[in-house]
Amino acid sequence: MASEAFLVGRVGETWIGLHAEFIEAVVPLGDIVPVPHAPPAVRGLVAVRSRLLTLIDSAVVAGCALDMPSALMVIVSIDGHAYGLTLDQADDVVTFDVLHAVPAALANGWQALADQMADHDGRVVLIVSPARLVAAAQTTLSIAA
């Protein structure tokens, strides 16, 4: 576990570590084609290098309000489907020596996404599994105020 690599990035004010094994690339967001009647966490469809991705707004899933829409996305592949997960900032791919259990109840949607955390340069990073984030996107009901 400790040798596993994570992509450290920021969603709103929160730093997260995404399991790197699922991640194919981090790219800037381009054109988004909306999907009418999609769950609120689905921002739409994007085409990246001739692939079709379903773009998931990580901030909506986590339930945190953003001043401006995220400009980056992480491309992940889960169960044969490609998704883009929005990110406000991507920092680095790192390995953590120790993962701690999250000691407190997390706010908003974070509770369903993370149960471990780590220290990265003095910052607390929530460990988030992309598969869980994607699964949670389907059930996220309303857009955060």
141 binds other proteins (CB under 8 A): no
| Alpha-carbon gap, residue 112 to 47, rounded angstroms | 29
DSSP E strands, 21-145: 23-28, 42-48, 51-56, 72-78, 81-87, 89-95, 100-101, 114-120, 123-128
**Binding-residue pattern over the window 93 to 132 for other proteins, x denoting contact by CB under 8 A:** ----------------------------------------
What are the residues facing 86 on neighbouring strands?
A: 73
What is the distance between the alpha carbons of residues 70 and 142, in angstroms, rounded to a whole number? Answer: 18
Please say which residue, 38 or 90, places its beta carbon nearer to other proteins. 38
25 binds other proteins (CB under 8 A): no
In this complex, which beta carbon is closest to other proteins, that of residue 120 or of residue 132? 132
Residues near other proteins (CB under 8 A): 31, 33-39, 42, 45-47, 49-52, 54, 79, 81, 83, 134, 137-138
